[in-house]
Amino acid sequence: MELNYAIEMFLQHCQLERNLSELTLKAYEKDLDQFKSKITTPNICVEDIYKEFLREYIKYLSSKYKPRSIKRKIATLKSFFTFLEREDIINTTPFRKIHLKLNRSKELPKIIRKSSLNRIIKYAYLEKNKFFIESRAYREATRDIAVIELLFSTGIRVSELCNITFNEIDLKNKVLKIHGKGKKERIIPLCEKKSLAILKEYAHLYDEYLHHSTSFFLNRDCHPLSDQSVRRIINKYSAIAGVSEHITPHMFRHTIATMLLENGVDIRNIQTLLGHSSLAVTEIYTHVSLSSQRNILTLKHPRKNIC
């Protein structure tokens, strides 16, 4: 069977039988397209892909990517060939006798400096107040602040934010329903007053559009807000606030987790908030906290003032 057709079969299987999310399907497709692009033999059949080629491909990945990305790309390929073996399209997966030992050391998650976060939120509100309440600019600025406030107050992923439906955010009872990775559902209380206030103002300003839309956050054409739009919003207010560091939506997630931990919140509560399936994933924030503690003890330990 030709590789192109085999990939189509696998992706269809992932969509229809495994019911994977659109985001996961896109990641699988991207990884498999990259693998396919490295094969110089035209119209190659999957039966002709041997472990020697996989070793060369893994060597290529090792020269270009970090361990976490390599692990994900290889996991996609393993899943693909396991599917082909199970469907009797190939006799044995070429991964059968390949043993990988990647460096699993984890990078500390990047967080937003408190001063930068303060400036972004401050200047976002100042920008909103420049416009007339009846204007489109005021309405869009309100939406932008609601996006930033919700990212920081809940630590949700950008994909989760963009997928929130009108019925999943209950501003009256102050709860948010999120469908996370693996379509796991979690409920997040909306407790922060300023965040809740701006969300209510946004809902009021967009009321006539929200009742006809499944998505809660809308762009200027009243279509669902995309993750790229969220990135542009953050870049816009970072520039207005004069923040030079590159800030991504995911950094809000890292920042709230780290700050909660430093404020004494139990790590299991943070795990539940973030929707991590394993506590081991959440524990990376303990390293950030220790790093912060080390800086505090180095710079502000009272021993410096004792002879």
CATH number of domain containing 13: 1.10.150
Q: How many structural domains are present in the chain?
A: 2
Domain hosting residue 10, numbered range: 3-86
Task: Quickly count helices (H) and strands (E) in the chain.
Answer: 14, 3
CA distance 35 to 96: 18
Q: Residue 218 pairs with which residues in a beta bridge?
A: 224
Q: Does residue 274 belong to any structural domain of this protein?
A: no
pLDDT in tens, 233-255: 999 999 999 999 999 999 998 89
Residue 26 lies in a domain: yes
Nearest CA-CA partner of 234 in 258, 215, 250, 254? 250
Proportion of the chain in helix, strand, coil states, percent, rounded to 5: 60, 5, 35
Closest CA relative to residue 280, chosen from 269, 268, 288? 268
Backbone angles phi, psi at 155, to 5 degrees: 70, 20
Smallest CA-to-CA distance from 143 within 135, 185, 305 is with: 135
Q: Indicate the pTM of the whole model.
A: 0.69
Using a 10 angstrom Cβ sphere, with 0-12 exposed, 13-18 middle and 19 or more buried, the burial of residue 270 is buried
CATH code where residue 200 lies: 1.10.443.10
Are residues 142 and 223 part of one domain?
Answer: yes
Taking only the tens place, the pLDDT of each residue in 120-169 is: 999 999 999 999 999 999 999 999 999 999 999 888 999 999 999 998 99
Q: Tell whether 301 is covered by a domain.
A: no
Look up 157 and say whether it is catalytic.
yes
Main-chain phi, psi angles of 249, to 5 degrees: -55, -35
285: annotated active-site residue = yes
Stretch 263-273: mean pLDDT: 81
pLDDT of 307 strictly over 60: no
Q: What is the mean pLDDT of residues 14-25?
A: 84
The answer on 244 and 121 residing in a single domain is: yes
Active site annotation includes 253: yes
- Residue 268 domain flag: no
> Does some domain include residue 280?
no
> Do 124 and 245 lie in a common domain?
yes
Task: Indicate if 75 and 171 belong to the same structural domain.
Answer: no
Candidates 157, 202, 237, 254; catalytic one: 157
56 contacts: CB under 8 Å, gap ≥ 6: none
Give residue 248's pLDDT: 94
What mean pLDDT comes out for the span 72-89? 90
Inside any domain, residue 63:
yes
Mean of pLDDT values over 101-125: 82
Mean pLDDT for 158-186 is 87
- Catalytic-residue membership of 128: no
Token output for 158: 């950008």
139 and 203 part of one domain: yes
Residue 287 falls in the annotated catalytic set: no
Q: Are residues 48 and 156 in the same domain?
A: no
Supply the pLDDT for residue 139: 95
* Same domain? 149 vs 238: yes
Same domain? For 242 and 118 the reply is: yes
Structure tokens that stand for 207 in this block: 């009321």
Tell me: do 36 and 79 sit in the same domain: yes
Query: Does a structural domain hold residue 302?
Result: no
On whether both 149 and 53 belong to a single domain, the answer is no
Let me know whether 134 and 82 are in one domain: no
Residues linked to residue 177 through DSSP beta bridges, in sequence order: 187
Is there a catalytic annotation at residue 250? yes
Q: Bridge-partner residues for 179, per DSSP?
A: 185
DSSP 181: G
133 and 238 housed in the same domain? yes
- What per-residue confidence (pLDDT) applies to 19? 82
Mean per-residue pLDDT for 40-61? 85
Instruction: Answer whether residue 200 is part of any domain.
Output: yes
